[in-house]
Structure formats: structure tokens, C-alpha cells
């Protein structure tokens, strides 16, 4: 079976040549990289992150001016203005919306679908995946612990074995630790409709990430991308995978100081939890935009060791597709 046949369902769903979604990376996945991905035959996704509605509106319009191809928008469901962001996506006729950061509410999915958008949700378990499909999700992403940024506890390979055999109603895209075409083929043959990659595209020429940020990626190996540690059991944190630097140690120190302030009555537990959760947002901008790779967060997946040079987005996509196709041809021979 050819690569085009293997990912036909995913490509048709996305409206693209290749069933490769770009992972939504805060500060990185903006108009330039997103449009470059879509123009390369893949599927770019804007990371709305903490953007206010008016900023997202500008970003979508700017992306539309750079590509005529489909692209999506990733919305964080905890955003205080989620309803307004949904309306911005609908008003701009965004074809696909990815809901991330937790379990979305039914009315959010319904409103997006009524507005003409296809809804993609993250499924950390098979049971939740089935629930999301019943709620109206048009496709799912399963993302393993090898991914960069906020991660779950289970590896991509285990999630794929748990979820791909039991969820067939909608397209499922696999993410986390994918850096080569051969891996893409393996997940497609297990039943995935496509894949999602983030780390591999950070060092694209079109990526606006600071030169220092890109250099850190080029130097790093898989073993340098480690998950953050939770300091206190009463203050849960979603682990963040990033290249080790001073920010890694600073986060542990900041958690300790915050917990002490809560226990001494200087702040409420809710304020402390919020402070801990907000640490990474500012820290990531410091690294990606300002280039402070010592104290900023270097969020990266374990596939970072496969990022070896700065290339045009089209070259990266062509390389992945070439590796996948050559692997299939070698095996057939």
C-alpha cells in the first residue's frame, strides 16, 4: 500500500496533500510557520494560547493572506474568553478548530460545528476518546509523553496500541516523538489517519523562533529534553517537557517558594496553583521571542535530536514524505 493510500482518510479530512498536522506551539505556531506548513502540503495550526479575541482575529486574517490552503486554530479550553474565540474562528470561516488543555464542554463543540468548523480533540485514553466522539468530535489527536510542552504520563507507542484498535469512527492523528517518515508509516499501519509534529518544525526557516532558541534545538539530543518535576503532592502540575537549563531548576525553586507562601498564609491555595501554572507561559516567551535560552523555557519533544539543521518548511515536509515512501518501497522490494 502506498503512503497516499495509508493516509488518504486523514488527508481528505484535513483537505491537504499530506496528513501531517503542525503541532500548535505557543509563540512559534503563528502566521509565518502555519502558512508555510499549509503551502507545503501539510496542515498548519495557529496556537491561540492566551491571545485575546482581537489578536486571534488579526492572526487568522494575516495567515489567510499568506496561504489559500486549509489551516486550523488551536484553542485552550481554559481560556477565560473561549466563547469569544470560538466566534472569531467561525466569523473567519476557519475550517478546523483543535480544542486542547482538557475536556471541552458539549456546547463548545456544538457551536463550532454549527458554525461550519470541524472539531479536533485530544484523547488521553480510549474511554475519553469514545466520549468525545459521542459529544461530536470529528477527529482525535493522541499525544504521548515524548512530546514537547505539557505532556501526559503515557508513551506514544502505548497510547497508539490502546486507542487505535478501538476508535475507528473518526480519524485519529498520532503525536509525540515523531521525527522521521518511517515512524509515520508505523502509526498509519496501526490504524492512524495521520500524524502531528511540532518539534521537527521549530527550526524551519519560516519559524520566527529566536536564533538562540533554534541553536539550542540543534545542539540538543533526546536525553536533554526532560519532564519537569512536581515539588509538592498537594500542588499538582502538568509536567512540561523541555531542554534542561536554568529554567528547569528555577521552576522547582519557584514551586517550593510558592508552597511556603501558601502554608504561611501569604496567598491562597488557588493563587499559588495559578502562579505555578503561569510560570511556563512567560518563561517560554522569554526563550522563543527574546532568545534568553538560559532562563527561558526550551519546550521540546524527545525528537529534538533529529532536528539537525535549519531548513525550509517545504524541505522538512518533503524529507518526511520521502523517508516514509522510501521505507515502503524498500520493504516491498
State the pLDDT confidence band at 280, using cuts at 50, 70 and 90: confident
pLDDT digits (tens, 9 = 90+) for 65-114: 999 999 999 999 989 999 999 999 999 999 999 999 999 999 999 999 99
Q: Count CB-CB contacts under 10 A for residue 266.
A: 11
Q: Return the pLDDT at 276.
A: 81
The order of strands in the sheet holding 240-243 is 149-150, 240-243, 225-227
On the question of pLDDT at 227 being above 80, the answer is yes
Average pLDDT over residues 195-216: 98
State the chain's mean pLDDT as an integer: 95
CB 195 within 8 A of CB 178: yes
Q: Alpha-carbon distance 173 to 192, whole Å? A: 6
Q: Alpha-carbon distance 329 to 333, whole Å? A: 6
CB 95 within 8 A of CB 63: no
Average pLDDT over residues 184-208: 98
Distances in whole angstroms, Cα of residue 34 to Cα of each of 139, 208, 235, 320: 20, 11, 35, 17
State the pLDDT confidence band at 270, using cuts at 50, 70 and 90: confident
Q: Alpha-carbon distance 263 to 22, whole Å? A: 42
Q: Return the pLDDT at 231.
A: 86
- Strands 240-243 and 149-150 come out as antiparallel
Q: Alpha-carbon distance 13 to 19, whole Å? A: 9
On the question of pLDDT at 198 being above 90, the answer is yes
On the question of pLDDT at 217 being above 90, the answer is yes
Q: Return the pLDDT at 31.
A: 98
On the question of pLDDT at 275 being above 90, the answer is no
State the pLDDT confidence band at 229, using cuts at 50, 70 and 90: confident
Q: Return the pLDDT at 277.
A: 75
Q: Return the pLDDT at 239.
A: 86
Least confident span in 137-151, 168-182, 263-277, 307-321 = 263-277
pLDDT digits (tens, 9 = 90+) for 48-70: 998 999 999 999 999 999 999 99
Strand segments, DSSP code E, in 28-138 are 45-47, 72-76, 96-100, 118-122
Count of helix runs (H) and strand runs (E) in the chain: 13, 11
Q: Return the pLDDT at 273.
A: 81
Q: Going from the N-terminus, what domains does the chain have, and what CATH number goes with each?
A: 3-208+309-332 (3.20.20.70), 221-299 (no CATH)
On the question of pLDDT at 30 being above 90, the answer is yes
pLDDT digits (tens, 9 = 90+) for 232-266: 888 887 788 999 999 888 888 998 999 999 999 99
CA atoms within 13 A on the CB side of 167: 31
Amino acid at each position: 500500500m502506498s503512503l497516499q493510500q495509508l493516509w488518504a482518510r486523514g488527508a481528505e479530512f484535513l483537505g491537504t496533500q499530506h496528513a501531517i498536522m503542525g503541532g500548535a506551539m505557543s509563540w512559534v505556531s503563528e502566521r509565518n510557520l502555519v502558512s508555510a506548513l499549509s503551502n507545503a502540503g501539510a496542515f498548519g495550526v495557529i496556537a491561540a494560547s492566551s491571545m485575546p479575541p482581537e489578536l486571534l482575529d488579526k492572526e487568522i486574517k494575516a495567515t489567510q493572506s499568506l496561504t489559500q490552503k486549509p489551516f486550523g486554530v488551536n484553542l485552550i479550553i481554559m481560556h477565560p474568553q473561549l466563547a469569544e474565540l470560538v466566534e472569531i474562528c467561525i466569523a473567519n470561516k476557519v475550517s478546523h478548530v483543535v480544542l486542547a488543555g482538557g475536556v471541552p464542554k458539549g456546547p463548545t463543540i456544538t457551536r463550532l460545528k454549527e458554525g461550519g468548523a470541524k472539531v479536533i480533540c485530544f484523547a488521553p485514553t480510549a474511554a475519553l476518546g469514545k466520549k468525545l466522539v459521542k459529544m461530536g468530535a470529528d477527529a482525535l489527536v493522541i499525544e504521548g509523553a515524548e512530546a514537547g510542552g505539557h505532556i501526559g504520563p503515557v508513551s506514544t507507542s502505548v497510547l497508539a496500541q490502546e486507542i487505535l484498535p478501538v476508535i475507528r469512527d473518526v480519524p485519529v492523528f498520532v503525536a509525540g516523538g515523531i521525527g522521521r517518515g518511517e515512524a509515520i508509516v508505523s502509526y498509519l499501519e496501526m490504524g492512524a489517519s495521520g500524524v502531528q509534529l511540532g518539534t521537527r518544525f521549530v527550526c524551519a526557516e519560516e519559524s520566527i523562533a529566536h536564533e538562540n532558541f533554534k541553536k539550542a534545538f540543534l545542539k540538543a539530543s533526546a536525553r536533554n529534553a526532560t519532564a519537569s518535576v512536581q515539588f509538592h503532592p498537594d500542588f499538582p502540575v502538568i509536567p512540561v517537557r523541555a531542554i534542561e537549563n536554568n529554567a528547569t531548576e528555577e521552576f522547582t525553586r519557584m514551586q517550593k517558594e510558592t508552597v511556603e507562601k501558601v502554608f504561611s498564609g501569604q496567598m491562597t491555595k488557588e493563587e499559588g496553583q495559578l502562579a505555578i501554572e503561569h510560570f511556563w507561559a512567560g518563561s517560554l516567551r522569554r526563550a522563543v521571542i527574546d532568545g534568553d535560552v538560559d532562563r527561558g523555557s526550551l519546550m521540546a519533544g524527545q525528537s529534538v535530536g533529529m532536528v539537525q539543521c535549519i531548513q525550509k518548511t517545504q524541505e522538512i515536509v518533503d524529507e518526511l514524505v520521502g523517508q516514509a515512501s522510501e521505507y515502503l518501497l524498500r520493504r516491498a522490494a
